[in-house]
Amino acid sequence: MAALLKPAVSLASSQFMGQVLKPAAASSSLATPQQYASLSVRAGPYADELVKTANAVASKGRGILAMDESNATCGKRLASIGLENTEANRQAYRELLVTTPGLGDYISGAILFEETLYQSTLAGKKFVDCLKEAGIAPGIKVDKGLVPLAGSNDESWCQGLDGLAARSAEYYKQGARFAKWRTVVSIPNGPSRLAVVEAAWGLARYAAISQENGLVPIVEPEILLDGEHNIDRTLAVAEEVWSEVFYQLANNNVMFEGILLKPSMVTPGAECKERVTPEVVAEYTLKMLKRRVPPAVPGIMFLSGGQSEVEATLNLNAMNQSPNPWHVSFSYARALQNTVLKTWGGNPEKVKAAQTALLIRAKANSLAQLGKYSAEGESEEAKKGMFVANYTY
């Protein structure tokens, strides 16, 4: 039984961040210098740069624009406005986003799909350079999507570790400075212990590989909104998931000062009849984070998860009404882009109007990061929910 017990790791202390703790031999009363040396965090050649990048992304009043939809998912978005899923149309929409004047005032990082990382504007300027000139760090989605998890209760696991080191090195050369890996946990399907451990282990291996290749890993175990469960059930699952995630991150020698988190907010399930206020969401979410996330982590960049644009912003604002141990901000896709896409509609003459819509949403969330947002004057479109059951990205 002793072999099954985990070593006691205090996640509240930065002294033990990113370490694998080895039990002392029964015959030893004092640790040798060699044993002390084995307890040091494995930083790697990019340690200083990782910390600098993570803190730059987690900068005051700014957050992340997630525009890393796969070609298939981007195609669904384009279809919603009557456009075909062609590379030219994807390029046109993404050019609209990365060339928005003033975007860097509110956005510190942009997550790109692999195709986008290598694309340029019609004038020939690399998207990566457009972002860097605006003070926005380019990021890259590195996972290869979800597949069924054998032996589970119809749950999923995230693939993409094979070849990740080589791909990450190439992404760094192309200008990416942080990475994203999205795995999911389903409450209606359990979650099973197998699914939780698999999600945490995959995230930890990805994080370690990313750091060794100069990329700040965004750690994202998304707890899906699907289900009729109440907010207390979500809290219990979130605490279990994040406990396992940090245990595995430590086992894989991940430097906590050089990561960012992308958690789900703690909310009731999408089909739950007991709805709660932004203040309650903030109370439960911050309670979970304070119980599970070490203060060494620079930034918490929330996903929107199908909330309406306004709902996601209100919840973020409620979490920033008092100081937090970490930068608490956003990494939104649909909650930043929904109105933008509909305003553009594929019409070149509407590009400036769509860029204005993006700035409005980005500024709103910037204010929420500062705890100064008000929903007064928001459009009805921005209040519409965007939940999609069993959402894939």
Query: Which whole number is the average pLDDT over 107-136?
Result: 98
Has residue 24 been placed in a domain?
no
b/e map 266-301, b = 16+ CB within 10 Å: bbbbbebeeebebebbbbbbbebbeebbbebbbbbb
Structure confidence at residue 392 (pLDDT): 54
pTM above 0.75, yes or no: yes
The residues facing 185 across adjacent strands are 223
Q: How many domains does the chain have?
A: 1
Q: Using the 8-state DSSP alphabet, how is residue 8 labeled?
A: P
Has residue 19 been placed in a domain?
no
The residues annotated as belonging to the active site are 220, 262
Has residue 388 been placed in a domain?
no
Structure confidence at residue 190 (pLDDT): 86
Q: What is the pLDDT of residues 35-59, one digit of tens each?
A: 434 445 565 789 999 999 999 999 9
Query: Model confidence at 334, in pLDDT bands (50, 70, 90)?
Result: confident
Has residue 82 been placed in a domain?
yes
289: Cα within 13 Å, side-chain hemisphere? 26
What span, in angstroms and rounded, lies between the C-alpha atoms of 18 and 140? 23
Has residue 204 been placed in a domain?
yes
What span, in angstroms and rounded, lies between the C-alpha atoms of 313 and 296? 25
Structure confidence at residue 305 (pLDDT): 77
Measured in degrees and rounded to the nearest 5, phi and psi for residue 254 equal -80, 135
Has residue 391 been placed in a domain?
no
Has residue 32 been placed in a domain?
no
Q: What is the domain range of residue 89?
A: 43-383
Has residue 30 been placed in a domain?
no
Bridge-based pairing state of the strands 107-112 and 178-185: unpaired
Contact between 81 and 96 under an 8 Å Cβ cutoff? The reply is no
CATH number at 81 reads: 3.20.20.70
